[in-house]
Chains A and B, each alone.
Chain A
Amino acid sequence: MAVAATTETGARPSWSGRRPSAPAWAGTVPFFAYVGVFLLWPTGIVVVDALKNPNGSWAFSNISELGDPLVRGYFIGSFKLCLLSSVSGAVFGAILAYAVASGNPDGMVRRLYLAISGVLAQFGGVTLAFAFLVLLGPVGLLFHASWYFDFPWGIGLIYTYFQIPLMVLVFLPAIDGLKVQWREASENLGASAWQYWRYVGGPLLAPAFLGTTLLLFANALSAFATIEAWENQIAYIVPQQISTALSSEVGLSNVNVADLLALGMVIMVAIVMTGYALLQRRAARWLR
């Protein structure tokens, strides 16, 4: 730390004076420019459309439709499903990631699991739902799960199928960052495995764990091809209702409603992220 202090406040190396000082955030301009054009601009169109009528006039009162009990039901459904699949995916994925990480870093098992996780993390949709249907559904090969069409348990199980590999892939570098020496040191000091995890490993992994759980939550949020194939007679979650509003063949199509629901989803994620940021700050207190 002393070394760092002297380089910060002491005499700087000669080359730093030559260049004109651009503000530090200038280095992030490429990122924000790219994201601005291809993400913020389309999002802006969606948000603006959400507050308009089908004939193009402004209708800020549309926001109040988000409080409609039917609409609230969709958001609660989405929240339940995302919470269930992200937490179970995070917990089981962390266990699997630990198992993979504690093996030979150059070994075949790790490579296989990385490749499989990569493939399965993006696997979903019709084929996944159908595969579970033939295994556990009403005419299931394995057994007939009476809860298969219960929301959110049946579809939650299917979502976990791609949440776990995603967790493994994203969380693995964090586990790799746990140095062997720390485990040995704690054992030399007499800590049991439980104590190591409670006081050393846990707090170190907590930020990455929480961040990845948040990713899993958002990952489950806008997925809808899988649930559409699982069942599509009742809309449980927001994307199903968005799909109805966008591609209805019976004249109920309404782009503004779809955009409004999407806006609601963004708001929901913003709220969840606030909760996550608070949790992170709590976890950070363990570290220092």
Chain B
Amino acid sequence: MRSSYRFALAGIAAATLFAAGCSSSSSSASSSGSSTNWATETSASAGGGMNALVAAAKKEGTLNVIALPPTWANYGAILSAFTAKYGIKINSANPTGTSQQEVDAVKTENGTAKAPDVLDIGMAVALANTNLFAPYEVSTWSSIPTAQKAPNGIWVQDYGGYMAVGYSSKFGTITSLNQLLGPQFKNAVALNGNPTSANAGLNGVMMANLAEGGTADNIADGVSFFSKLKAAGNFSPISATGATIKAGTTPVVFNWDYLNLPSYVGVSNWKVFIPSNVALGGYYAQAINKNAPDPAAARLWEEFLYSQAASGGQNLWLEGGARPVEQAAMQSNGSINTAAASKLPAVTVTPTFLSPTQATDAANYLAANWAKAIG
């Protein structure tokens, strides 16, 4: 019994090592053979041109991305298109991570082969963590508006949308936010996340703020609108998801317009409206990990995302209902997918974008007052 016990113990140890060895993923190839170290290149031309970049990326063979849900802004199609075009395998981790979790993953996985190569994050998190990124200017750099990129390319905005209200068609047609205070919306109105921690939630409150006549510097009117909603019994404390929408638990949702598409929400009788006096825009930003395990693949991915080709990233995002950052340039040079562009919800006023200070002020105000307002 004693010897068989020891044998079993050894067997377990051996099995562990054996199984671990069998299923360990191969580490990505280092670019030690090539002459360019893509980790420090700041543009494709500086590194020897697009062809050199493509060759180096293919040699690396993998790309680690994080927090890219396939149904979000058509990322599923973008990931497939990239792999189909270049044959590079994509490891997509943590599909519903927040921007902060993406940055945390970069720090935790630093130096391993699993670290994320590229990030798609909210502006607040991007601005707070520029020490983790590598500067890079894509080939279409000039098509990106100056206000939407960092001067050295340490972060670049990629796509965005306007905050909108999605609702079930059983309510008819909604044209103004004040209609939501009516009795037929009992327990019906929900946000996408808690405004004190989620970007979409904060912007939802800010949109109400602007629609009610407030300014981007002070979110108090937005908080009082939701207070009124709560007093009327119309505010739902549940975070809206596809499941709650389908079950009819949250039939009215404040969310980005590209996340309020019937195809994303999964319910066919879903309508969207943006208040006529407000267009609150929010864009996400791309960044490359300074210590990316696959630096050439990371840069090729960025080139793909910003390419204006018919099947390039910008048009694919447009098909997902998001507004690509190069939209204005693409509309003038005709490379835009006009059919997809026409499907975007109409916006009649000048868009407002929160500056970093305005966003921080709003966040601090919410941290202090939100719980009281809707408690």
Binding site for B on A (CB under 8 A): 126, 130, 133-134, 137-139, 149, 228-235, 243-244, 246-253
Contacts and interface: CB of A to CB of B under 8 A. Distances in A.
A129 to B, nearest CB: 9
Given A232-B238, A251-B125, A246 B371 contact: no
B54 interface: no
A243 B364 CA distance: 17
B176 to A, nearest CB: 23
B46 to A, nearest CB: 33
Nearest to B199: A249
Given A233-B191, A234-B375, A253 B100 contact: yes
Contact of A250 (B191, B199, B236, B375): B199
A231 B237 contact: yes
Given A249-B197, A250-B359, A229 B239 contact: yes
Q: Residue among A246, A251, A252 with the most chain B CB within 10 A?
A: A251
Contacts of B328: none
A246 B100 contact: yes
Contact of A130 (B195, B237, B244): B244
B259 interface: no
Contacts of B359: 250-251
B20 interface: no
A233 B240 CA distance: 11
14 contacts: A133-B238, A137-B249, A138-B186, A138-B249, A231-B238, A232-B239, A246-B100, A247-B104, A248-B100, A249-B98, A249-B99, A249-B100, A249-B124, A250-B195
A134 B244 CA distance: 9
Given A130-B244, A253-B125, 9 more contacts: A126-B241, A133-B238, A231-B237, A232-B238, A233-B191, A234-B371, A247-B98, A249-B122, A249-B199
Interface in B231-275: 235-239, 241, 243-244, 247-249
Interface in B96-144: 98-101, 104, 122, 124-125, 128
5 residue pairs, one from A and one from B, having the closest CB atoms:
A231-B237, A251-B124, A250-B363, A249-B199, A138-B187
Contact of B198 (A230, A235, A249): A249
B360 A244 contact: no
A260 B165 CA distance: 37
Interface in B332-370: 359-360, 362-364, 366-367, 370
B247 A139 contact: yes
A233 B363 contact: no
Q: Residue among A230, A231, A233 with the most chain B CB within 10 A?
A: A233
Contact of B101 (A133, A138, A247, A250): A247
A244 B128 contact: no
A248 B362 CA distance: 13
Contacts of B193: 232
A252 B99 CA distance: 12
A261 to B, nearest CB: 14
A252 B367 contact: yes
Contact of B249 (A133, A243, A253): A133
A233 B194 contact: yes
Interface string B184-211: 0011000101111111001000000000
Contacts of A243: 197
A230 B235 CA distance: 14
Contact of B197 (A149, A229, A250): A250
B237 A235 contact: no
A9 to B, nearest CB: 30
B374 interface: yes
Given A232-B194, A233-B374, A234-B237, A251 B249 contact: no
A268 B197 CA distance: 25
Contacts of B128: 251, 253
Nearest to A243: B197
A138 B236 CA distance: 9
A104 B35 CA distance: 74
B198 to A, nearest CB: 6
A134 B197 contact: no
A126 B375 CA distance: 22
Contacts of A233: 191, 194, 235, 237, 239, 370, 374
